[in-house]
Amino acid sequence: MTARVHLGHILHSLRRHQLTVLILIIEVAFSFSVVCNMALMASHRVLASHQESGLQESGLGMLSSTDRSSASGDNHWVRTVEAMRAIEAVSGVEAVAAVQSLPLNGSSYNISFSRSLPTDSGSGGGVQVSAFIGSPNMVNVLGLEISKGRSFTRDEYVLNKDQGAALTEAGSVLVSEQLARKLFGSRNALGQVVYVERHPMRIVGIVRHLLSPAPTLGAENELTAIVPVLPNSDTTAFLVRAKPTDLDRTLHRSAQALFAANPNGVIENVGTYEDLRTKYFQHDVAMLRLMTYALVALLVVTIIGIAGLVSFWVSRRGKSIGVRRALGALRSDIVYHFLVENICVVVAGLCVGIAGAYTLNAYLIRHYGESPMSVIFLLFGIVLMVVAGQLASLGPAIRAAKIPPSAAMRGR
């Protein structure tokens, strides 16, 4: 008898213990299906929390002010200019701008861009766009990169008189590269005309990246534009550019200056842009942490389950192991036998688990908007389950190898 058994011998042994094999296959298939989909969901949250905003985030802070003394119809832009001048005078402030919304702050004007003049029956084929408005130095303070064209000139700005109505009065617009591709494909979008309702706007510049105020998983999150409209609201957000090492102190002094310029104003949301990013993605980070804990727990349970079943398997086969030892099998041969048996069971479980993984993925796509699973997550799950299965069976296999040849004579 050869020291190492053949695969046919191993398959024969597995057929003699069908119930144990079936339990192992089901356990591996279930764990594999869940692991692959959890890895997919976790990767989405990692990618979401690291989306590029397009802004030069380091050294960028913000604070907002609500003017409680203003009456309806007031020209708030005049007070906004006064507030910006007060902040500019603060030591450490390199630049300041007033905006109505920002990437990741969850609020913006939503408008529809069309390449052709809408008909009376409807625009048809319009692209929903998140539009940003702000003071003339907004682009520079944000640190946006204009890949083509130029920024706005001061005479292109119009005053926002009525809750975004001026969005259909401006004659020019900056668009993100993603929006440019969405509207014009491979054609050069610079200089092209887009329509908001029936109002034409000419694209004067293209911004490389500009994230939506409310990005979501698996979506086009840079269908964004900047329209030259001056913010004219009783609540305005002020962006402050300063040295990163001095940003917190500069923001504190800026808040004091803003209150001194308008004691009737309510100052709030003082913080860095990094704080805003952390706050926006805190739910995704918490979910990622929770899924990591659940994944580890599932693997631990799977390893314990496989180890327990293999140990039971070994206890029922003490006599046959003793016979093999008596016929000259080495301890390493016994370990090898059980590891190969386990890998055969794991592979069978993975074959069933692949179907289960895609079935679970289809359910998540239909009900939770997840994206289709790529092969990389299947490979990740396969490697993880093979390693976990072999680790789980290694202990019982080593214990089996310690069974002496005399066990064949004790009726075990």
Predicted local distance difference test score (pLDDT) of residue 387: 92
Predicted local distance difference test score (pLDDT) of residue 7: 58
Tell me the H-state helices in 50-156. 76-88, 138-142
pLDDT class for 12, splitting at 50, 70, 90?
low
Predicted local distance difference test score (pLDDT) of residue 162: 64
Predicted local distance difference test score (pLDDT) of residue 1: 40
Q: Which of 63-72, 101-110, 197-206, 226-235 has the lowest mean pLDDT?
A: 63-72
**Whether the predicted pLDDT of 123 surpasses 50:** no
pTM: 0.77
Q: How far is CA 411 from CA 236, 319, 333, 398, in A?
A: 86, 6, 22, 21
What is the residue-averaged pLDDT of the chain? 85
202 burial type by CB count under 10 A (0-12 exposed, 13-18 middle, 19+ buried)? middle
Cβ neighbours of residue 315 closer than 8 Å, sequence gap 6 or more:
none
Domain ranges of the chain: 7-50+283-409, 60-273
Tens digit of pLDDT for each residue in 216-264? Answer: 776 689 999 999 999 888 888 999 999 999 999 999 999 999 988 888 7
Per the model's pLDDT, the better-predicted residue between 409 and 229 turns out to be 229
- Position 141, amino acid: V
Query: Quick one: average pLDDT of 24-47?
Result: 90
Q: Which among 212, 31, 196 is positioned nearest to 130, based on CA atoms?
A: 212
Tens digit of pLDDT for each residue in 135-173? Answer: 999 999 999 999 999 999 999 999 877 655 667 788 999
Per the model's pLDDT, the better-predicted residue between 107 and 155 turns out to be 155
pLDDT class for 97, splitting at 50, 70, 90?
very high
Phi-psi region of 206 (alpha: psi -120 to 50; beta: other; left: phi over 0): beta
Cα distance between residue 253 and residue 234, in whole Å = 22
Q: How far is CA 206 from CA 152, 153, 331, 368, 401, in A?
A: 11, 15, 70, 33, 69
DSSP 286-309: HHHHHHHHHHHHHHHHHHHHHHHH
Cβ neighbours of residue 109 closer than 8 Å, sequence gap 6 or more:
100, 101, 130, 131, 132, 133, 164, 167, 227
Cβ neighbours of residue 375 closer than 8 Å, sequence gap 6 or more:
none
Best-predicted range by mean pLDDT (88-92, 366-370, 396-400): 88-92
Predicted local distance difference test score (pLDDT) of residue 236: 87
Q: Which among 208, 183, 178 is positioned nearest to 193, based on CA atoms?
A: 183
Annotate 366-401 with b (16+ C-beta within 10 A) or e (fewer): eeeebeebeeebbeebbebbbebbeebbbebbebbb
Tens digit of pLDDT for each residue in 55-93? Answer: 999 999 999 988 776 555 567 888 889 999 999 999 999
Cα distance between residue 379 and residue 40, in whole Å = 12
Query: In what helix (H) or strand (E) does residue 224 lie, and over which residues does it extend?
Result: strand 224-226
**Residue 47 phi, psi dihedral angles, 5° rounding:** -65, -40
Query: Quick one: average pLDDT of 105-119?
Result: 82
**Whether the predicted pLDDT of 9 surpasses 70:** no
Q: Which of 6-10, 140-144, 245-249, 269-273 has the lowest mean pLDDT?
A: 6-10
Q: Which among 389, 212, 239 is positioned nearest to 303, based on CA atoms?
A: 389
**Whether the predicted pLDDT of 174 surpasses 80:** yes
**Whether the predicted pLDDT of 368 surpasses 90:** no
Cβ neighbours of residue 157 closer than 8 Å, sequence gap 6 or more:
136, 170, 228, 229, 230
**Whether the predicted pLDDT of 3 surpasses 60:** no
Q: Which among 399, 110, 100 is positioned nearest to 230, based on CA atoms?
A: 100
